[in-house]
Amino acid sequence: MNDLQKQVGSAWDKKVSAITTSGGRAGPNWWNNTLVLRHVNRLVCGQPIKLFSAGCRAKLRDQLGYGVCLRRGVSIGCGTGVKEMSMIMDGLVECFDLYELSGSRIDLGKQKAKDLGLSDRINFFHGDAFTFRHREQYDIVHWDNSLHHMLDVNHALRWSRQNLRPGGWLFMNDFIGPSRFQWTENNLQLCNRIRSLLPARCFQAPGGTGKGISRGISRPEIDAFIAKDPSEAADSSNILPSINAHFPSAVITMTGGALYHIGFAGIYANLDMSQDEDRYIVESMLLADELAMKNGESHYAFALAQV
């Protein structure tokens, strides 16, 4: 790995350490809010499934047909590999080669694979997939919230096309919003308007300590943003153009996020989905998010293409 890749791996090692020492997962966000997940999955496959990426897997199953299982897949920036393990357990893919820059996430993934009895169907590689000599072409290239961490998404998608066998599949579920989180002015105005209407309790500091959560949101300062993680949304605004260039037959489904991603950032922990008022707040936000998506403001998309 080069120095930049080592820096990225170290940044993700630190995130793993922070979660481990806190005794659990990272704080609540849209990807573990049941209402948001049901909404996103409905947009993808028409079914309000409550599990992350489950709608994307259901869409792939629909395209493959009942009982069809792809022989071999590859995933870059796989993290702990839990999404790929779900695809194996769903009978969509027999085995995966998984590439990751964070050694800590690989260690967690290997233990998870062992616990699930999948160790013989998962191959972890610590390093840059683009420099490995691959034994054969793949039946599926899997990107799930990792493509936006590629420094050059055009290169990553060209590589994906070159390493798919004829009839193979591109599967992409990812952030496709502005690079380095440089939100549009329209998106900022929409989010800040909605945040101004929310009750004060939504902005309390977690655990009732600290100075609370700011009502206003803004674009991050780029130098500090890159210093924290050089890979974060490095080239994300080029994802859709690059998919269209290398996979012109791709079916792309926009899944929103202008509001559920940054508009509600930091406040999910203060919303209780068992309470009618909080459910109404989130449901109303999702309606506004879908309207914003239809007007061109979307942070996420799902793409599926067969070559």
* pLDDT tens-digit series, residues 100-122: 999 999 999 999 999 999 999 99
Residue 254: per-residue pLDDT:
98
Residue 20: per-residue pLDDT:
42
The closest alpha carbon to 96, from 81, 79, 117, belongs to 81
Of the chain, the end-to-end C-alpha distance in Å amounts to 30
Residue 41: per-residue pLDDT:
98
Q: What is the C-alpha separation between 129 and 252, in angstroms, rounded? A: 25
Residue 181: per-residue pLDDT:
98
Residue 211: per-residue pLDDT:
75
Domain CATH code at residue 133: 3.40.50.150
**Per-residue exposure over 2-30, b if at least 16 CB sit within 10 Å of its own CB, e if not:** eeebeebbebbbeebeeeeeeeeeeeebb
The two structure tokens encoding residue 205: 């500091």
Q: What is the domain extent for residue 291? A: 3-306
pLDDT per residue over 209-236, tens digit each? 667 899 999 999 999 999 999 999 999 9
The two structure tokens encoding residue 294: 């239809």
Q: How many Cα atoms occupy the beta-carbon half-sphere of 163 within 13 Å?
A: 25
Strands 70-76 and 164-175, bridge-based pairing: unpaired
Residue stretches of the chain with pLDDT short of 70: 1, 3, 6, 9, 11-27, 134-135, 207-210
Residue 205: per-residue pLDDT:
84
* 169 strand-pairing partners: 140, 306
pLDDT per residue over 286-305, tens digit each? 999 999 999 999 999 999 99
Structurally, the chain folds into a number of domains equal to: 1
